[in-house]
Amino acid sequence: MKILVPVKRVVDYNVKVRVKSDGTGVDIANVKMSMNPFDEIAVEEAVRLKEAGVATEVVAVSCGVGACQETLRTAMAIGADRGILVETDAELQPLAVAKLLKALCDKEQPQVVICGKQAIDDDANQTGQMLSALMGWPQATFASKVAVSAGKATVTREIDGGLETLEIALPAVVTTDLRLNEPRYATLPNIMKAKKKPLETIKPADLGVDVTPRLTTLKVVEPPKRSAGVMVADVAQLVDKLKNEAKVL
């Protein structure tokens, strides 16, 4: 059984991005880039399924600029067997990525696609669901537990107010929530090994996909800042302020 894992190169989660002064976007020149954390969880889950003997091959896919090769190497250092880069300098929105992944699923025929539930740059939370719909497959989003057996998967999902467990027929798309697993650190030998694993590069046109963006960003601004508050000396003063100044108690 083959598992496909899409991975996105994003601004590292520890970086506090700055909005460009001309309002055209955020400044990502010279900031640290990493694999989207939810995608790292997805790679880890796929590799664990392989280690458990459920999956036979884990294929990592990234869509974007040439530097996404680094993200694919990271996925392979965690344990993915090979990588596919769909290389383009064009801006890719979730619908376009879902279409690229659909074309790759048609070609690679995976039984499970494990995606991160959302990327921490555009915070869209769309691609997995879109891919699932385009393939006509079932989905199990926001997974905190995944068990795969012959032809089906049992997935526990994080929903508002608790958990729900679904049984879905394969092939299917699963998207990861943060409690699914704790991704391992790639060891130096595995990082070296990853450099020798196969990495194929193709273009969106090779897959026959039009990636033209549907949304135009008109401007990007900083959110309104909260004005600095005051420090209180003790609990009595805090209660007084909340009752008489803020009037929220």
Q: Which of residues 61-90 bind other proteins (CB under 8 A)?
A: none
Residue of 69, 144, 190, 201 that binds other proteins (CB under 8 A): 144
In the complex, what is the shortest distance from the CB of residue 94 to other proteins, in angstroms, rounded to a whole number?
7
CA distance 145 to 60: 21
Q: Please tell me whether residue 235 binds other proteins under the rule CB under 8 A.
A: yes
In the complex, what is the shortest distance from the CB of residue 158 to other proteins, in angstroms, rounded to a whole number?
5
Residue of 22, 29, 161, 208 that binds other proteins (CB under 8 A): 161
Choose between 27 and 51: whose C-beta lies nearer to other proteins. 27
Residue of 36, 62, 88, 139 that binds other proteins (CB under 8 A): 139
Q: Is 193 exposed, middle or buried (0-12, 13-18, 19+ CB in 10 A)?
A: middle
Q: Please tell me whether residue 31 binds other proteins under the rule CB under 8 A.
A: no
Q: Can you say how many angstroms the Cα of residue 228 is from the centroid of all Cα atoms in its chain? A: 34
Q: Can you say how many angstroms the Cα of residue 205 is from the centroid of all Cα atoms in its chain? A: 24
Q: Please tell me whether residue 208 binds other proteins under the rule CB under 8 A.
A: no
Choose between 74 and 141: whose C-beta lies nearer to other proteins. 141
| Count of Cβ atoms closer than 10 Å to residue 161 Cβ | 5
Choose between 188 and 228: whose C-beta lies nearer to other proteins. 228
Strands (DSSP E) found in 8-72:
9-11, 18-19, 26-27, 33-35, 57-64
CA distance 72 to 141: 23
Residue of 29, 149, 234, 244 that binds other proteins (CB under 8 A): 234
What is each CA distance from 47 to 40, 152, 158, in whole angstroms?
11, 18, 22
Sign of the C-alpha dihedral computed for residues 97, 92, 200 and 75 taken in this order: negative
Residue of 1, 19, 65, 202 that binds other proteins (CB under 8 A): 19
Q: Please tell me whether residue 95 binds other proteins under the rule CB under 8 A.
A: yes
| Count of Cβ atoms closer than 10 Å to residue 32 Cβ | 10
Residue 63: CA count within 13 A, CB half-sphere: 25
In the complex, what is the shortest distance from the CB of residue 41 to other proteins, in angstroms, rounded to a whole number?
11
Residue of 32, 179, 195, 203 that binds other proteins (CB under 8 A): 179
Taking CB under 8 A as the binding criterion, the range among 40-48, 77-85, 117-125, 186-194 that sits at the site for other proteins is: 117-125
Choose between 58 and 168: whose C-beta lies nearer to other proteins. 168
Q: Is 184 exposed, middle or buried (0-12, 13-18, 19+ CB in 10 A)?
A: middle
In the complex, what is the shortest distance from the CB of residue 198 to other proteins, in angstroms, rounded to a whole number?
30
Residue of 126, 191, 199, 201 that binds other proteins (CB under 8 A): 126
What part of residues 36-55 is at the interface with other proteins (CB under 8 A)? 38
> To the nearest 10°, the Cα dihedral for 27, 31, 37, 39?
80
